[in-house]
Amino acid sequence: MLLRPIRFFGGKGGVGKTTLAAGYALHRARRGERTLVVSTDPAHSLGDVFGVPLGERPLAVVPGLWAAEVSGEAQAARRVAEIVADAERTLPREVLPAVRRHLARAVESPGTVESALLDAVTDLVEQVGRDWDRLVVDSAPTGHMLRLLSLPALLTPWIEGLARQRESVRGVDRLAAGLVGRADEEPDPLLERLRARRERMAGLVERLRADAEVHLVLVPERLPLAETVRAAEQLTGGGLRLGTVVVNRVVPAGETGLLARRREQQEEVLARVAERFGREGVARVPLLPGALTSTAELTEVADLVSDL
């Protein structure tokens, strides 16, 4: 069985994907692999799970395991600053104030944030095999995760179109310069950036399809199951590999009282999960006591997800 080095954990908010991602990362680190676990969820809780404050720079939390929380907003601000610098070199001075105002508003737009977050994920994916043996991504809730993972395939042809348009404009400029006897071979930062981004997106698409799996996490209830089924169809339709589906907080057999009734309600959902995702594989994680925010408690989670 091919052990893919890049794993995404996604699902409906509140199903425990952060804890499971942390537990799986801890398991791989205990096996001697240099493992990085990263949260891309705007409502970061990965640092809470490990009991340490996290930022964008990987922090060693236990031997062999590093963790980080990536901010799409911070990435967007840095990216827009680079675009402003390019504009100052290539655009007429009189239009720069309007460009700066537009870009300042763009920093807060969802599309800019998601695109910048994608750049950060691309950086991390490119580090796998060099700096890290294993990358584990604690994704944002399902809708955000699906948009993030679908962006590379969507952006690639769009960027190609922009690059072709820019190349056409540059060709006209060179022709006009030649007619007046002036060579115009100055570098074009915008075109160079478009070409570089096109290559990176194409490389990311190829890498995700070859080396990544997505583990969808749900609790055994009808609404999370419905969302998981839709997410699985979109992921596989986009060429991504769906890994083992993880059903979290399953009430163990033999419980009495309220938990016994809860178990009866879960049985129907568990049967439907097994029927729908039997081919990909289904892992059950029982309802566990405690806050699951200590290394000892995470070790128990790590053992439960060791076969993913």
What does the pLDDT look like over 165-183, one tens digit per residue?
655 655 544 544 444 444 5
105 in any annotated domain: yes
Sheet holding 212-218, edge to edge: 59-62, 65-69, 35-39, 134-138, 6-11, 212-218, 245-250, 282-286
Q: Domain range holding 109?
A: 6-304
Domain count, the chain: 1
- The closest alpha carbon to 19, from 42, 3, 39, belongs to 39
What pLDDT, on the 0 to 100 scale, is given for residue 180? 42
pLDDT band at 111 (very low <50, low <70, confident <90, very high): low
Number of H helices, E strands in the chain: 10, 8
C-beta neighbour count of 115 within 10 angstroms: 18
Q: Is residue 147 part of a domain?
A: yes
pLDDT bin (cut points 50, 70, 90) of residue 159 is low
Which of these, 118, 126, 102, lies nearest to 6 by C-alpha position? 126
- What are residue 11's DSSP bridge partners? 217
pLDDT for residue 188: 64
Backbone angles phi, psi at 65, to 5 degrees: -130, 125
pLDDT tens-digit profile of 38-70?
Answer: 999 888 899 999 989 999 999 999 999 999 999
CA distance 40 to 222: 26
Structure token pair of residue 194: 């478009």
Whether this prediction's pTM lies above 0.85 is answered by: no
Confidence of residue 238 (pLDDT cuts 50, 70, 90): confident
Cα separation, 120 vs 69, whole angstroms:
11
Q: How far apart are CA 24 and CA 30, in angstroms?
A: 10
- Residue 308: both structure tokens together: 């993913």
Mean pLDDT of the chain: 82
Residue 1 lies in a domain: no
The CATH number that applies at residue 260 is 3.40.50.300
Do residues 50 and 296 lie in contact, with contact meaning Cβ atoms separated by under 8 Å? no
196 in a domain, yes or no? yes
